A and B are shown apart, each in its own frame.
Chain A
Amino acid sequence: MSKTTIIPIGPYHPLQEEPEFFKLHVEGEKVVGLDIELGYNHRGIEKLSELKTFEQTVFLVERICGICSTSHPLACVQAVEDAGGVEVPERALYIRSVIGELERLHSHMLWLGLAGHFLGFNTVWMWAWRYREPILELFELITGNRNHYGMMKPGGVRRDISVEDIPAIQKTLDGLKGPICLFRDAVTDDPLIRARLEGVGTLTKQQAIDYCAVGPTARASGVAKDVRKDHPHLAYGRVDFKIITGKNGDVFDKAIVRILETLESIKIIEQCLEVLKTLPGPVDSNPKEIMAGEGIGTYEAPRGEVIHYICSDGGNRPLRHKIRAPSFMNVPTNQTTVIGQSVADATIILAAVDPCYCCTERMAALDAGSGRRILSSAELIRLSQAKTAKLKKEMGVEGPRLKI
């Protein structure tokens, strides 16, 4: 008779530096069930946003995620513009696309490195992050920051990309093409990587549709959906690029889709830069007021579609601000992809959707009167120690007791 054992991964994930709790139910080495628990790090951003002006909201949502930190602002400003009927100058649209695609580049490189790390290929990790570094330096050149660029605002962007900087950007992009092609060939050629990834954690096309998966997770399963193509916005309707799709929906296809997408991103940036060299005009329409109404903004983040809904009563703050990050739709697909697989493959399968937990959770418990955190860290330590003491008493174990 088989016996089901629960293997906990998390809440402090041994590899990913974010709290989420995967309860793996296993029989022998085979995973037979998965329970996902969220909510360890909620920050209340949707509620907080109702207290901010439309300009401040953009900075707030930028803090949702440290990796796709421009995707949320992009969706947010588009929601505000949709609600308030705000026009955006053409030059700003191209700049937004450049920033968005540079972010996709560094985010996919980051995932590629992490995937290598999860598989035990630490060389892939080191090299992928080494090639990601120049992109962060490029961000510093363009925006002043390596991350959290603060570029977006309702009506345009905060900083122009100067024509003098374009050759430097182009040089970095040229330097990336070789390494990315090297990664592409190395992954497709390496028999060990293929053995670890092919046929592992498969999400079928039908499952991807049923779970409403988005981004590379869906595209690897053959669902050719990409908000950049389907809902053309920013400069995406004016540049030429391909939607990369896979067939099998396994981890291998998810990796390949991401690697090939970085090459498409470079193509998009180059086309935008070509236009930016000559396109004149302001980069901000400076909207004075946001009309009453409701608006929806979507953007294809590196992990898939981000959608923001904003409702305005004509004042300077949103009445309601709903945020949906791509991981909210992609993480549940783990409940099917990991079933029947071996425990050893679970880490890479769970990581293959490129999960971003901090995006999925946006809440913290605060006392409404004083605004104080209900559970401070001292409180958590006290609770933890009290529980240990209780358990020890129940189990009849004696031991040293810590004092707070």
Chain B
Amino acid sequence: MTRGQPGGTKEKHMTRDELLARVKERLGDKIIQWTDKSPRRVYVEITPEDIPETAQLLFREFEARFSIATGVDTPTAIEVLYHWAFDQCGLIFTVRTKLNRDKPEIESIARICKGAEWIEREMWELLGITFRNHPDMRHLLLADDWPEGKYPLRRDYVKNG
């Protein structure tokens, strides 16, 4: 696999604002909400359908490093936060997406970015998020005979016992 054809090393010399302007332009109308929280942290909301394309763009074109993803059970949705690091300008760019609480499902990005393989397995078993087309979906941390449908990081887990 090769990466970074358009732009390539050019991004390395960009300032934070130039880089963000280009990311904004390339993401275009995929952006639902853009929060410039601080000089070092940006949060962007994207629909689940646009996540693979966003990952492709950030990882391959802008050469961002996939740092990790966080799954959060909120009252209205299961959120997945993909934390991308732009090491060239000390910025952590977090892409947030909201999944339906009743049937949380999203396309896997592990084929785009190998580093996402384990964390998707972890989010599946702990939060019950289905990652479509994941290359190797099985338990990572929990035992193989862990009961189906019990997700320890869900808010209602304690009630179910």
Residues of A within 8 A of B (CB): 38-39, 42, 44, 46-47, 82, 206, 209-213, 225, 230-232, 293-296, 298, 305, 307, 309, 311, 319-320, 322, 324, 328-329, 332, 361, 363, 365, 367-369
B77 within 8 A of A: no
- Which of A225, A294, A296, A368 is in CB contact (< 8 Å) with B87? A225
- Contact, CB under 8 Å: A322 / B70: yes
Closest 3 CB pairs of A and B: A212-B115, A322-B70, A324-B68
B124 within 8 A of A: no
Closest Cβ–Cβ distance, residue B91 to chain A (whole Å): 8
- Which of B139, B153, B160 is in CB contact (< 8 Å) with A46? B153
- Which of B41, B43, B67, B139 is in CB contact (< 8 Å) with A307? B67
Chain A residues whose CB sits within 8 angstroms of the CB of B157 once the complex forms: 368
Closest Cβ–Cβ distance, residue A170 to chain B (whole Å): 31
- Contact, CB under 8 Å: A39 / B153: no
- Contact, CB under 8 Å: A211 / B41: no
Chain A residues whose CB sits within 8 angstroms of the CB of B113 once the complex forms: 210, 212
- Contact, CB under 8 Å: B141 / A231: no
B54 within 8 A of A: no
- Contact, CB under 8 Å: B139 / A39: yes
- Contact, CB under 8 Å: B66 / A307: no
A-B contact pairs, 23 of them (CB 8 A): A39-B139, A206-B2, A210-B114, A212-B65, A212-B113, A212-B114, A231-B40, A231-B87, A231-B91, A294-B43, A296-B94, A298-B67, A307-B67, A307-B68, A307-B83, A309-B68, A311-B72, A320-B70, A322-B68, A329-B68, A363-B141, A368-B158, A368-B160
Residues of B within 8 A of A (CB): 1-3, 37-38, 40-41, 43, 65-68, 70, 72, 81, 83, 85, 87-88, 90-92, 94, 113-119, 139-143, 152-153, 157-161
Chain B residues whose CB sits within 8 angstroms of the CB of A206 once the complex forms: 1-2
- Contact, CB under 8 Å: B152 / A225: no
- Contact, CB under 8 Å: B72 / A230: no
- Which of B67, B114, B152, B161 is in CB contact (< 8 Å) with A44? B152
A365–B152 Cα gap in the complex (Å)?
9
Chain B residues whose CB sits within 8 angstroms of the CB of A210 once the complex forms: 1, 113-115
Chain B residues whose CB sits within 8 angstroms of the CB of A82 once the complex forms: 38, 41
- Contact, CB under 8 Å: A328 / B118: yes
A213, closest chain B residue (CB):
B115
- Contact, CB under 8 Å: B152 / A363: yes
B67, closest chain A residue (CB):
A307
Closest Cβ–Cβ distance, residue A321 to chain B (whole Å): 9
B139, closest chain A residue (CB):
A39
B88, closest chain A residue (CB):
A230
9 additional contacts (CB under 8 A) given A39-B139, A212-B67, A230-B87: A209-B65, A211-B115, A212-B114, A212-B115, A212-B116, A230-B85, A231-B87, A232-B90, A324-B68
Chain A residues whose CB sits within 8 angstroms of the CB of B90 once the complex forms: 230-232
- Contact, CB under 8 Å: A329 / B81: no
Chain B residues whose CB sits within 8 angstroms of the CB of A307 once the complex forms: 67-68, 83
- Contact, CB under 8 Å: A298 / B65: no
Chain B residues whose CB sits within 8 angstroms of the CB of A296 once the complex forms: 41, 83, 92, 94
Chain A residues whose CB sits within 8 angstroms of the CB of B83 once the complex forms: 296, 307, 309
A369–B160 Cα gap in the complex (Å)?
9
- Contact, CB under 8 Å: B67 / A39: no
Task: Knowing A231-B92, A298-B92, A307-B83 are in contact, say whether A39-B115 is a contact too (CB < 8 A).
Answer: no
